[in-house]
Structure 1
Amino acid sequence: MNYYLGIDIGGTNLRAAILDNEYNLIDKFKIDNIVEKGADYNVDNLIKIIREKWNTYNIQAIGVACPGPLDIRNGVIINPPNLKGWEGFEIKKYFEERFKLPTTVNNDANVAGYCEAKIGTAKNAESAYYITLSTGVGGGFVYKNEIINGFNNIAGEVCNMIINEDEYSHAGLNAGGLEGQCSGVSISRIASKKLGQELTAKDVFDRAKDGEVNCREVLNEWSINLSKAIANIITIVDPEVIVLGGSVILNNSNYLEKLINEVKLRVFNNINVNIKLAKIGDDAGLLGAGILASCLK
């Protein structure tokens, strides 16, 4: 039996998993990412545990999921906001030199979408577009079992898509951009400003459920803005299925029907709008990285 490593690099944790060639999860673990100590220190800690735990497995390849922006072709971390001090880290080369195994690196949203396309909600679909709605907003497009990266490695990255005329610019992205309007952080920001008090995204959804008019208005606008982005995606790449993941939507799945109806108002008449919730959950990026490793030649 052959086995594959999946690595998920996050600002809080580093996670590793080992999968067999039928994509079964054999084992996994996580360690704290002490970001300020740098990439070498943290990745070395991860590698040490991998070698201790899984040294008897016939590992063939490694897949790594990282937050962007990335140089995907060369496997280099560029400057993710939650990995300060890791800029320019050649993570692909680092793993290859230490394990003497082929390694592939890709954006964490792409990899999570790949997992959903291979073993999750979009399994057997010709094309799948994945959108994660959490603290931020990410996206990835999978076509015929391949991640579409694009020339600049940003294909599918919907966070910067302009969806309204709001002047607010989030983290250097476009004013009126999707992440600045529809992420969990943005729901919190918009509602807090509207109500004059600090609210979390969870507070907003809870209050809307209890009938709070202002919170309902915020979430109605959120649904409209998100539906614009989804409608634009459908118009451009016409995916067989759109998969929505991330805590914002998975914890508030009652909004799915409204989103579908809003999207239908913004696309050509009589086309199939196929929007589903993600199935794999928090391990999508981790498992997807292992699955991606199994595709290395």
Structure 2
Amino acid sequence: MLGLYNYMKAENKVRTHNLPEEAPLVIGIDLGGTQIRTAVLRGATLLSRVNLLTGENPSPERVIPRMFESVEEALLKANISLSQIAGIGIGAPGPLNGRTGIVYSPPNLPGWTNFPLRNAFAERFQIPIFVENDANAAALGEHMFGAGKGSNEMVYVTVSTGVGGGVISQGQLLQGITGSAAELGHMTIDWHGPRCNCGNYGCLESFSSGTAIARQANELISLGKADDLLSYALAHQPAHASANTPADNSTLAVTTPLHVNARMVAEAALAGIPVAQQIITLAGEALGVGLVNILHIFNPELIILGGGVSQIGAPLLDPARRIMRERAMTVPCQSATIVMAQLGSDVGLVGAGSLVYYHQ
């Protein structure tokens, strides 16, 4: 009976918000290590958009006032008053607890240890506030308004500067006991692999992220094992580069004078540079192993791939699909469909706004 209730509740959520013009007005905030992105939304439709830099030394004391400022500016641009807003949803870097709204200790936001983000906003705006891991929020956005619309068993995987994800099971966001469930980028792919920023070894993020692709390229160049890639990089080096791919607007500097990044490696692979092709293939194979794990653990009907690195396309995704065919058990593999995300660069904002609809 409980399963039927959850299923019906999830179905009602999808039906309620099929038509954005019927949805209440909400505010979505996508908090990143370098940017604060805020919007007034009706469903998946952005009525205003504000981008502010988090600034240097992004402590709560410095960033929270800028987040408040972004909300007020977004309201002003949309010509909307706070009294018309049903709630504010915030997607923030994890780890955090969505139930309590407490941010634990995100690596790219130093000083935010056990910070009560929800309470800070509730005291300031006096309306419902919802906080969630940014990848979980993005998964919810795709579930309610994007490629996962209507699916009650889906997994969203974003492959970008890092690797993250979110899981929808029986129409509900999987959170775990502390809100830390579905850290998909930190599943172990190779227990003898490189050290990850999370402290673990051999995480999926250490192999398939834009940062990992850039790191692998620069290591090979420094060892003199990627002369063709070096020549390509010197001939095509942009004025300003980062460890990102075309659809990823976040920035992460690569510590090499050559600034060889994931975008450059992907372009070199498409140009036929063998070592670049090998790097992308390795990243794709590791992604495939991660997707096999996802199939076996969650048995979803839908896997949604998003993030800038996923836009590399066939050179990355074909090896991933091959690994899935070779290694996954037949029934869960045949039961799942892999699709690309639909919300694009707005997924963080739409996902944050979706938190309000999901919880009300």
What TM-score, normalized by structure 2, do the two folds share?
0.77
Partner of 1:39: 60
Partner of 1:284: 347
Partner of 2:138: 112
Partner of 2:212: 186
Q: Look up the SS of the partner of 2:194 in the other structure.
A: coil
Confirm or deny: 8 A CA contact 1:35 1:84 kept in the other structure.
no
Within 1, Cα distance between the matches of 2:194 and 2:44? 42
Q: Quick one: which of 193, 200, 203 aligns to 1:174?
A: 200
Q: Look up the SS of the partner of 1:74 in the other structure.
A: coil
RMSD: 2.0
Q: Quick one: which of 8, 25, 28 aligns to 1:3?
A: 25
Within 1, Cα distance between the matches of 2:285 and 2:318? 12
Within 2, Cα distance between the matches of 1:45 and 1:190? 36
Q: Partner letter of residue 67 of structure 2?
A: L
How many residue pairs align between the two structures?
Answer: 296
Q: Partner letter of residue 276 of structure 1?
A: V
Q: Look up the SS of the partner of 1:36 in the other structure.
A: coil
Within 2, Cα distance between the matches of 1:49 and 1:176? 38
Q: Partner letter of residue 217 of structure 1?
A: Q
Q: Which has the higher helix share?
A: 2
In the TM superposition, residue 253 of structure 1 has moved relative to its aligned partner by 5.3
Within 2, Cα distance between the matches of 1:96 and 1:266? 48
Deviates most, 59-68 or 211-220: 211-220
What TM-score, normalized by structure 1, do the two folds share?
0.92
Residue 114 of structure 2 corresponds to residue 88 of structure 1:
yes
Q: Provide, for residues 158-209 of structure 1, a one-character-per-residue CA deviation record: whole Å limited to 9, x for no partner.
A: 1221112444102143211111111111111122223336531122212211
Q: Mark the runs of 5 or more structure 2 residues left unpaired by the alignment.
A: 1-21, 223-229, 231-257
Within 2, Cα distance between the matches of 1:8 and 1:190? 29
Partner of 1:238: 299
Q: Quick one: which of 56, 61, 70 aligns to 2:96?
A: 70
Q: Mark the runs of 5 or more structure 1 residues left unpaired by the alignment.
A: none
Within 1, Cα distance between the matches of 2:265 and 2:46? 36
Deviates most, 138-147 or 281-290: 138-147
In the TM superposition, residue 254 of structure 1 has moved relative to its aligned partner by 5.3
Deviates most, 38-47 or 116-125: 38-47
Partner of 1:296: 359
Residue 154 of structure 2 corresponds to residue 133 of structure 1:
no
* CA gap 1:63/1:236 in 2 versus in 1, 3 angstroms: same
State the structure with more CA Rg. 2
Q: Provide, for residues 127-186 of structure 1, a one-character-per-residue CA deviation record: whole Å limited to 9, x for no partner.
A: 111111111111110124321011132211112211124441021432111111111111
